Amino acid sequence: MSSRLIRAWKTALVGGQIIWLGSCVNLPYYFQAISGHFEVINRSQPISRIISRPDVDIRLKNALTKVVELRQFATDHLKLPENLSYTSYTDLKRPFVVWNVFAASELSVSLKQWCFVQVGCVNYRGFFSQASAEQFAEELRKEGYDVHVGGIRAYSTLGWFSDPVLNTFIGYSEMNLARLIFHELAHQILFVPGDTVFNESFATAVEHEGVRRWFKHKGTDQEQTALMARYDNEMIFINLVLKHRQRLLELFHSDASDVDKRAEKSRIYRDLRGEFLRIRAENSEFSSYDPWFAQPLNNALLATVSIYTQAVPSFQAILTQLDGDMDKFYETIKQISALPKQERNRILQQAAEHISQLK
């Protein structure tokens, strides 16, 4: 059976599941997801074929050649899945592959959840059309939600399909290209339905370890220094956001009136922006976060930071305890993932506290 027929068969299978569940899901939403993803995989070409063409743009050829190296490194050194993901390339002729809509109640730091076939409940809703995403976001705003619409440059199909390299991120620096590929492949190792924080923090931990090993294996001292500086700035940014998110959490759980909560909420966001500007004035490299702070600050935007990073120290602590053995790390995390959510969170918290005490 040809690869294209296999793709069509898989898409039809997923579509069949959706039709069967039609009484309890939003069919138009699912069908836009099916057609959008089918466009992505149907337009893909093998990277080996593109690289071999004499007329291909040299920058694209060099970037895809680097992807081939990163893909092999992911298998050999990080024990990530050896499959056809990131061995093909798709040019979508647009800057993002999907647009995710995040929403949180006006007086809450928790993201609204939506539940889907296969993946369970997640904290966002993705659209292959920006117009559709913005329309859905506006409906949520009218219901009183804080809303954030974010353009997404890559996503994982969790191994159901062979995810291609996309034009939306092929122009990344070597560091960011490595981070993205390692992160998305990690989702194929493990995915817990209904636990976005667990899934994203796990993948982010693998990503960080992968990039560290990549530059140790291939990089210069200068690249290693740049990597550490990048991570230091990320931690400053994350801690800044989480500090003010904690202030919001305490405010929303207080006995203050809703009127007072709204006023204090506005002040907290002003404080967040003001503290960022002070840090930026002292650290010029922190200007890389200008685009993030240029967005309207609200509960939904802040929550998107926490879901990707909240449990990263816990996963890093477990990997350290296992002496960096990736096979043992994946097996341990799979065992933890099979536990009830409350028990999973308890173990992750204990791991983070243990490593903190050793510092």
Give pLDDT tens digits for 133-176. Answer: 999 999 999 999 999 999 999 988 888 889 999 999 999 999 99
d(CA 270, CA 284): 21
Radius of gyration, alpha carbons of the chain: 21
Instruction: Examine residue 330 and state whether it is found in any structural domain, yes or no.
Output: yes
Could you list the residue range(s) of the whole structural domain that residue 145 is in?
A: 3-172
Q: Specify whether 165 is located in the same domain as 265.
A: no
Residues near 304 by Cβ (< 8 Å), separated by ≥ 6? 102, 111, 148, 150
Say what the pLDDT of residue 149 is: 97
Instruction: Examine residue 198 and state whether it is found in any structural domain, yes or no.
Output: no
Q: Specify whether 253 is located in the same domain as 162.
A: no
Q: Specify whether 168 is located in the same domain as 313.
A: no
Instruction: Examine residue 188 and state whether it is found in any structural domain, yes or no.
Output: no
The mean per-residue pLDDT over the stretch 117-134 comes to 86
Instruction: Examine residue 52 and state whether it is found in any structural domain, yes or no.
Output: yes
Instruction: Examine residue 114 and state whether it is found in any structural domain, yes or no.
Output: yes
Q: Structurally, how many domains does the chain consist of?
A: 2
Q: Specify whether 17 is located in the same domain as 142.
A: yes
pLDDT greater than 50 at residue 3: no
Q: Specify whether 230 is located in the same domain as 326.
A: yes
d(CA 81, CA 88): 16
Q: Specify whether 8 is located in the same domain as 137.
A: yes
Instruction: Examine residue 302 and state whether it is found in any structural domain, yes or no.
Output: yes
Say what the pLDDT of residue 359 is: 54
Q: Specify whether 163 is located in the same domain as 242.
A: no
Report in angstroms the alpha-carbon separations of 18 from 6, 13, 25, 192. Answer: 19, 9, 8, 20
Among 145, 172, 199, the domain boundary falls at 172
pLDDT greater than 50 at residue 241: yes
Which pLDDT tens digit goes with each residue over 327-345?
Answer: 999 999 999 999 999 999 9
CA dihedral (319, 323, 325, 331) in degrees, to 10, reads -50
**Within 10 A of 85 (CB to CB), how many other CB atoms are there?**
22
- Output the six-digit token pair for 199: 């899934």
Q: Specify whether 139 is located in the same domain as 273.
A: no
User: Measured between alpha carbons, how far apart are the two ends of the chain, in Å?
Assistant: 56
- Output the six-digit token pair for 339: 């536990």
Q: Do residues 50 and 56 lie in contact, with contact meaning Cβ atoms separated by under 8 Å?
A: yes
Q: Specify whether 50 is located in the same domain as 137.
A: yes
Instruction: Examine residue 195 and state whether it is found in any structural domain, yes or no.
Output: no
d(CA 321, CA 280): 35
Q: Specify whether 279 is located in the same domain as 341.
A: yes
Q: Specify whether 37 is located in the same domain as 125.
A: yes
- Output the six-digit token pair for 357: 């005490």
pLDDT greater than 80 at residue 36: yes
